[in-house]
Homo-oligomer: A and B are copies of this chain.
C-alpha cells in the first residue's frame, strides 16, 4: 500500500480505537476503582510484581504521580508494597488476590460489551475483522 492509503487507514483506525475505548470504558464504573488506579493495577496483574520506576514508565507517568496511585491501591488492599530485599532503595509492588479479582471482573465486563457489538456483524465481516485484529496485535507490540 502507498503512503496515502496507509495514512487513511491509520486515520480510520485511530478514530475507531478512540470510539471503541470510550464505549467500553463506561463499564468501569462498576469496579469502584478510578481509571488511573485501574490501569496501574492492570499492569501489575499482567506484568507481575515490579518497582515503582518500572510501573511509572509503563504508565507513562512520573514517579511522584505513581507513588500516590500505589498509595491508593495499597490503602484499598488491591496491591502490596514492600522493600526489595536485594536493593533496599527499591520497592516491590504487587497486585493482591482481591486486586486481581476486581480487575478481571472489570476487564470481563469491557470485553463482553465489545463482544455484543461484534456479534451484530455478518459472519464474513467477523472473519475479516478477526484477521485484521491478528495483524494489529503484532503491529502495536
Contacts and interface: CB of A to CB of B under 8 A. Distances in A.
Interface stretch (A62-70, A74-82, A91-99, A132-140): A132-140
Nearest to A3: B115
How many identical subunits does the complex contain?
A: 2
A115 to B, nearest CB: 4
Contacts of A60: 22, 25-26
Interface of A: 1, 3, 5-7, 9-26, 60, 107, 110-112, 114-115, 117-121, 123, 125-141
Contacts of A131: 128, 131-132
Contacts of A21: 17-18, 21
Given A6-B119, A20-B13, A132 B141 contact: no
